[in-house]
Amino acid sequence: MDAKELDALWQSSQIRVTDELAMAPEVLFCNGSVIGTLGNFSASTGKAKSKKTFNVSAIVAAALTNGECLGYSAEFPDDKRTVLYFDTEQSPYHCQKVIRRAIELAGLPTYRHPDNLFFSQLRAQVPDTRLEIIDRAIATTPNVGLVVIDGIRDLMFDINNATESSRLINKLMEWTDNNQIHVHTVLHLNKSDDNVRGHVGTELNNKAETVLQVSKSATDDEVTEVSASCIRAMDFSPFAFRINDNGLPEIAAGYTFNRQKPQTFSYNELTDEQHRTALEKAFANGAIKGCQNCEDRIKEAYAACGFPFGDGKVTKLKTFLMNKRMIVRENGAYAYNPDFYY
């Protein structure tokens, strides 16, 4: 951009205390709490086979009729009633099952396709093409209010590339802000912990309006729990669903949540600078060969910084640090990555 263009952007970006600004329209709710507004994006996260897509089907069902489904309800304006759904993982046959499920949950007939639902199956496309298709669809489809991207990870080549992740999240903000729509995405959690995958997961947690966590019940294999991992509005009471004989999710009547808090690991409470200080101390002499040697040095360094951990917790801490790419393993040795994005 030249100086004139930058000056224009600088002027148009300013906000004054005297400006009259309207609150973003609230369009998606869960148990009475706002989880989605126009001009923002949200996400469903969960481990493989946790029934994330069943949960998203309920959100779509509520949006199709501006009604209620499971714990969700929708109130989109009349000129924002169209839903775009993009699936990047499943076959056409399984995508059609998702469509049928959402339509049945909405109480609509399955012998005709809803006029306000457009479903696109993008598994065969490369990430750049998927992104361009979504961009074009949002720009050219009238009355879009909700866009679902089931598989945001598949819009990028490297989930741990900080630059690519930042550009993708910026694209979500561009779509939502410029078109005043709500985008709901789906992203997997790591197998080893409850952190969203890669740099894009970190960016998503930082920028999303709401992050829903969909997880299998620890006490009943047939029940899935839905709670807020991150939410800007007032937190909602979690709910649970099970799949009925018709293959549809329904509220798990009589289900009792395990009120005992899961054991937390205090590395989540440390800031990026606290991690950085400890890691610089641990790797002061360069890369470390051997898993046990690495854990010993990490244990000593964190303890020296005022964060003592037992052996078991240090193992979990090392896994966490590697998932966040604060530590990388190269040529058989563990090395500190000072360019990590926490």
Q: Which of 151, 114, 155 is CA-nearest to residue 133? A: 155
Pairing mode, strands 40-46 and 182-188: parallel
Do 108 and 194 reside in the same domain of the chain?
Answer: yes
Q: Are residues 162 and 308 in the same domain?
A: no
Task: Tell me: do 113 and 224 sit in the same domain.
Answer: yes
Q: What is the pTM of this model?
A: 0.73
Mean pLDDT across the stretch 59-72? 95
What whole-number percentage of the chain has pLDDT above 70?
94
pLDDT interval class at 176 (50, 70, 90): very high
**Residue 281 placed within a domain:** yes
Residue 117 lies in a domain: yes
Question: Same structural domain for residues 180 and 317?
Answer: no
Mean pLDDT over residues 318-336, rounded? 88
pLDDT of residue 265: 47
Residue 197, pLDDT > 80, answer no
Together in a domain, 236 and 297: no
User: Are 36 and 167 found together in one domain?
Assistant: yes
Confidence label for 327 from pLDDT (cuts 50, 70 and 90): very high
Q: What is the pLDDT of residues 110-119, one digit of tens each?
A: 999 999 999 9
For residues 249 and 105, is the Cβ–Cβ distance under 8 A? yes
Asked, for residue 263, whether it belongs to a domain, the answer is no
What are the counts of helices (DSSP H) followed by strands (DSSP E) for the chain? 9, 16
Token pair recorded at residue 305: 């910084």
Which CATH number belongs to the domain containing residue 180 in this structure?
3.40.50.300
Q: Is the pLDDT of residue 198 over 80?
A: no
Domain end position, chosen among 216, 251, 286:
251
In the chain, the amino acid numbered 67 is G
Token duo for residue 324 = 């966040």
Q: Are residues 313 and 234 in the same domain?
A: no
**214 has a pLDDT exceeding 70:** yes
Q: Please give, one letter per residue, the 3-state secondary structure of 187-228.
A: EEECCCCCCECHHHHHHHHHHCCEEEEEEECCCCCCEEEEEE
Q: Is the pLDDT of residue 26 over 90?
A: yes
Q: What is the mean pLDDT of residues 103-130?
A: 95
Total count of domains within the chain = 2
Per-residue pLDDT band for 342 (boundaries 50, 70, 90) equals low
In a domain, 66, yes or no: yes
Co-location of 160 and 304 in the same domain: no
Residue 18 resides in a domain: no
Q: Specify whether 241 is located in the same domain as 304.
A: no
Domain holding 189, by residue range, is 23-251
